[in-house]
Structure 1
């Protein structure tokens, strides 16, 4: 039976989600633990791949499993074997052709900025001392919803068929002792969110204007956009799917 597996991880110790030949990945750790407990080789296909050091508060992967026990018991056993920075939450039965990556209709990210030095944000937020004009940053963020080609924010030499993305919402808010950027789209390009944040921070610091952001997007030139901000402040927070993929008995 095919299941969607909901889990999270703290990305500091990993070179992203995807298994790599010479670097530790979340996929490698999880597949090894799954395979050990279920006594067969298990392959996990995730909703997407996060870059080195990026965190996921909610990630989804699919796998074809013959569970020897109740899913709740397997969750308990998996979490006892997995390292402290990876946690599995649930198994959701889905239709046999459901796909964690291709069936996802929305993905959401957050990026955290710490305006003051805070040791508790050392590995979870980007410490930026410069004052920021959030109103201008939000004005620039709203421009993203008016475009669909984001080649200017894509990692160079990325092998993708299209740079088109449907951004549904994007904006900044102040929350307690941090500044948070939230963005939701149907899909994201490699390094896209970190490049967007870097560009919007340039607006907030007065290095470029709101109008410049429009010019940057139209240019489709990565060298004209801002630098990619550090991975430690980025979180995958939500992946949404249509109800039609759920397996309903009867």
Structure 2
């Protein structure tokens, strides 16, 4: 009988073509499946908590897989995985879970960070958006407060996706400025494809004075992606946390 596991990980998305397996392109999912299948000596499929696009990072990500082998009986299993995966992908922990536990469907919230640098920094080139024009962070935070008045974010969704609803419940949204770096944090029960980058791109228009707050409301209410701002570049976006009910995890030490 196969045992299901949750695997907690992080990755630098610069050299990956997103999470999902794609033909003729390196993905995080493919890399994990190859490593697990090789080490466990069986064909293993991995299901992620969501999908990230090309160039987007994850400082925390969760996926699940099943194996006939009792992988946690081998204390060096995580070490072997990390040696196999290379420098852009790291495994933090692998935990036994129940047979119905699901990395995507059991998640109760997700948190993203988006980073904008307003000074040139060669060490942040792959992990932030270098944007030199002045931004009114106060107005951008006024726009954040507007998000809580809505649940339908069609205007910030990639077109022609296969989701059944564009409704999302946003729990937190805030810009913080420090040392010429702006950090946007947003937490919600779910996110649409390209949603965070579309929100950031539109808020940057607010910050430049190109779009006022009533106009920002109109963008959301129109439910039309063409009216929102251009998507912010992928390299500034990080999936930072995924929350689960406490009873989902059966920790390695249990």
TM-score (normalised: structure 1): 0.96
1:204 CA displacement: 0.3
Aligned partner of 2:246 in structure 1 is 243
Aligned partner of 2:35 in structure 1 is 33
Match of 2:54 among 52, 55, 63: 52
Take 2:175 and 2:74, find their aligned partners in 1: how far apart are those partners? Answer: 38
1:70 CA displacement: 3.4
CA contact (8 A) 2:72 2:94 kept: no
1:211 CA displacement: 1.3
Take 1:68 and 1:198, find their aligned partners in 2: how far apart are those partners? Answer: 43
Instruction: Report the 3-state secondary structure (helix = DSSP H, G, I; strand = E; otherwise coil) of the residue aligned with 1:179.
Output: strand
| Runs of 4+ residues deviating >3 angstroms | 68-72, 247-250
Aligned partner of 1:90 in structure 2 is 93
Aligned partner of 2:148 in structure 1 is 145
Bigger mean CA offset, 221-230 vs 16-25:
16-25
Unaligned runs of 5+ in 1: none
Bigger mean CA offset, 122-131 vs 60-69:
60-69
Take 2:205 and 2:76, find their aligned partners in 1: how far apart are those partners? Answer: 49
Please list, as runs of the form range in 1=range in 2, the aligned pairs for 1:1-250 lying within 5 A after superposition: 1-65=3-67, 66-70=69-73, 72-247=75-250
TM-score (normalised: structure 2): 0.95
Unaligned runs of 5+ in 2: none
Instruction: Report the 3-state secondary structure (helix = DSSP H, G, I; strand = E; otherwise coil) of the residue aligned with 2:42.
Output: coil
Take 2:72 and 2:237, find their aligned partners in 1: how far apart are those partners? Answer: 35
Deviations 1:50-76 (A, max 9, x none): 001000000000111222453641111
1:240 CA displacement: 0.4
CA contact (8 A) 1:71 1:91 kept: no
Deviations 1:187-237 (A, max 9, x none): 000000000000000000000001111111000000000100100000000
